[in-house]
A and B are shown apart, each in its own frame.
Chain A
């Protein structure tokens, strides 16, 4: 039996302390699809990701994966004081190969960690402490942790918030390479970097008010989402789109 979808969300709702955070969310993510979720702060983007990841449970609706044992990679939104833990880059990535209580890391885990490090070109960082990395380096390391298990679904929460434009471009190029092997959900505010490159964008503000290619009717979609006219600038040539 073959499935062409990775993730199917039906009538999803989430209420916290009596406040509706998400309501009536419906969408499907297909194999090797790269989808971006945009929306204002407090619009429920991170909450939606946490529901997909199983960190929180939905109040209503269902989240269905093509396979119950699906491997999901996750790159979390960064907090300023996170990751000052005394651990080397190598051990940090290896730890994500955790398989359960009393299960030691195998040669396969070591090999896979090595391969991922090479794939992302971060060999020079192996012995560095996590806290000594630059913003761009840390994002690559977090991405390495997210993909070390060859996930079928990769979830990224504002991955380019703390990195410079050069690193951002490198990061997006990496994502497009990864898309060949996995489906990707990218939450971002960085409309300038994604709007011309990603075909499907979901606009989320408590509910989904747009799902598709925003380039066809950009101004109207942005106005509906944020409530005012939004000018989007492409980083690469600094032109208003």
Chain B
């Protein structure tokens, strides 16, 4: 029986944890219309992964501080030189990727890593990855549920949030901090390229169905579990890579939802 294998158990557990993390962060990424910025952050992480491999350190542990510092610095410079936000994101996006590819190129025999980090490989998840994912998930749950009103307010109407006394800059920074943490720890599962699809597809469906944020997050979680397990099953049966298989399932579900909704 396939479930007897430890790597399969770890993969399944990681997909459950990952589904909840993506459900929480993805809800606000979509509602704040920050999909493009979040995509940029995810791609910036590739530079950190390359640096980790280059320094022979744990790539994910290097990618977390690298992405935080790199994206903060780029947004600061973008503001200083009066560059539009979307242009700054484009620079972050391609610069992060380029740095990662160049650094990986210095290490012979590491090109296999590149594909794994670009598209993800849930079957390569180990106990340390699960631990890291769990820690980020616990902090995400605590912060987002403790400050749910504030996150709803800054997503719904940033200007009014400031008027009622919410410190917009602090919550905006915390939001991007968790988007960075979340996307980096999810890279091994979904990869930098397809990461953002995991965050966006479920909320794009559920935001049309519900008006309560907890319901949206809960059903995002269920949908993510469905996407992940079905994708993994297809990957196992057809010998497809796991990340892209999950993406195909989620996009197919989204298209079917859109067709039925417009009938």
Residues of chain A having any CB pair with chain B under 8 Å: 53-55, 72, 74, 76, 82-83, 85-88, 91-92, 95-96, 98, 100-102, 127, 129, 145
Contact = CB atoms under 8 A, between A and B. Distances in A.
Contacts of B159: 55, 76
Nearest to A86: B207
A86 B31 contact: yes
B208 interface: yes
Interface stretch (B54-62, B163-171, B244-252): B163-171
A96 B31 contact: no
A76 B157 CA distance: 10
Interface stretch (B41-49, B109-117, B147-155): B147-155
A96 B156 CA distance: 11
Contacts of B160: 74, 76, 96, 145
A86 B157 CA distance: 12
Given A95-B152, A98-B149, A98-B153, A87 B211 contact: yes
B156 A55 contact: no
A98 B211 contact: no
A75 to B, nearest CB: 10
B210 interface: yes
Nearest to A72: B163
A63 to B, nearest CB: 14
Nearest to A96: B164
Nearest to A89: B211
Contacts of B153: 95, 98
Interface string B207-222: 1101111001000000
B162 interface: yes
A87 B147 contact: no
B216 A86 contact: yes
A71 to B, nearest CB: 10
A85 B163 contact: no
29 contacts: A53-B163, A54-B162, A54-B163, A72-B163, A74-B160, A74-B163, A76-B157, A76-B160, A83-B156, A83-B157, A85-B155, A85-B157, A86-B31, A86-B207, A86-B210, A86-B216, A87-B211, A91-B211, A91-B212, A92-B156, A95-B149, A95-B152, A95-B153, A95-B156, A96-B164, A98-B153, A101-B147, A127-B211, A129-B211
Interface in B131-161: 146-147, 149-150, 152-153, 155-157, 159-160
Contacts of B164: 96, 98
Contacts of A145: 160
Contacts of B165: 98, 100
B31 A98 contact: no
Given A86-B207, A86-B213, 19 more contacts: A72-B163, A74-B163, A76-B157, A83-B156, A83-B157, A85-B31, A85-B157, A86-B210, A87-B211, A91-B211, A95-B149, A95-B153, A95-B156, A98-B164, A98-B165, A98-B166, A101-B147, A101-B150, A129-B211
Contacts of B213: 86
A96 B160 CA distance: 8
A100 B211 CA distance: 22
B211 to A, nearest CB: 4
Contacts of A55: 159, 162-163
Nearest to B152: A95
Contact of B156 (A54, A74, A85): A85
A127 to B, nearest CB: 8
Nearest to B82: A17
Q: A83, A85, A86: which has the most chain B beta carbons within 10 Å? A: A86
Nearest to A100: B165
A90 B153 CA distance: 14
A86 B162 contact: no
Interface in B1-59: 31
B211 A88 contact: yes
- Which 3 pairs from chain A and chain B are nearest by CB? A88-B211, A86-B207, A85-B156
Contacts of A98: 149, 153, 164-166
Interface in B162-187: 162-166
Contacts of B212: 91
B170 to A, nearest CB: 10
Nearest to B215: A86
A128 B135 CA distance: 38
